[in-house]
Amino acid sequence: MAKTVTNASDIAQLPDEAAIEALLDALDVSPDSNLISVLQDVQDRLGFLPAPALEAICGRTRMPLSRVYGVVTFYTQFYTEPRGRHTVRVCRGTACYVRGGKTVLDAVKRELSIEDGETTEDMMFTLETVACLGACALAPLMLVDSTYHGKMDSRKALRILMKYRKDSTQ
């Protein structure tokens, strides 16, 4: 059974305060740092932006927490919750919809036992839907991490997910 990961305590190995401070040391975070670059670098290392990391960034940059959270919540590239190893994006745009995108999405949800925005319990996949992935000629389209998988049907989509799962466990 899958679950929505709702907070950082759901992940077993969270970086402790010392690890976060060491990371900010390595990134040389200071009041002169560019906040967006810092957030990107920290997220690259940790996989998401846990609250203790955001608080530590505030301390280093001397920015108020409200400002840092404002930036984090404004940009969709930033995540404050743990994410799966792979991000699966299924297009729900019109071109994909009329060619069976909804069937693909339903099959993926069923297979992973999660809804849009949720992460599988094994932390393997996070599912998102997107208004248009910008390659309508390939509809219906699914994107896994940065790889486009076009002309999808349910069976192909499930085969692809199984392959990612298999490759990740080898």
Reference 15, options 66, 57, 64, 49; nearest CA is 49
H helical segments located in 75-141: 94-98, 101-112
CB of 25 to ligand FES, least distance (A): 42
Told to check if 112 binds ligand FES by CB under 6 A, we report: no
**Angle separating helix axes 17-26 and 35-46, nearest 10 degrees:** 130
Kindly determine how many residues on this chain lie close enough to bind ligand FES according to the rule CB under 6 A: 12
> Which of 15-23, 31-39, 87-95, 103-111 is the region at the interface with ligand FES (rule: CB under 6 A)?
87-95
Told to check if 142 binds ligand FES by CB under 6 A, we report: no
| Contacts of 74 by beta carbon, 8 Å cutoff, 6+ apart | none
Among 63, 136, 158, 160, binds ligand FES (CB under 6 A): 136
The kind and range of the H/E element at 149 are strand 147-149
Told to check if 14 binds ligand FES by CB under 6 A, we report: no
| Contacts of 86 by beta carbon, 8 Å cutoff, 6+ apart | 124, 125, 126, 144, 145, 164, 168
> Which of 1-9, 78-86, 91-99, 160-168 is the region at the interface with ligand FES (rule: CB under 6 A)?
91-99
Among 15, 50, 82, 93, binds ligand FES (CB under 6 A): 93
Residue of this chain nearest to ligand FES (CB atom): 93
Told to check if 133 binds ligand FES by CB under 6 A, we report: yes
Among 46, 105, 127, 139, binds ligand FES (CB under 6 A): 139
Q: Residue 69 corresponds to which tokens in the numbers above?
A: 């959270």
> Which of 65-73, 79-87, 114-122, 136-144 is the region at the interface with ligand FES (rule: CB under 6 A)?
136-144
CA distance 103 to 73: 31
Taken in order 113, 115, 121, 123, the sign of the CA dihedral is positive
**Residues forming the site for ligand FES (CB under 6 A):** 91, 93-96, 132-136, 139, 141
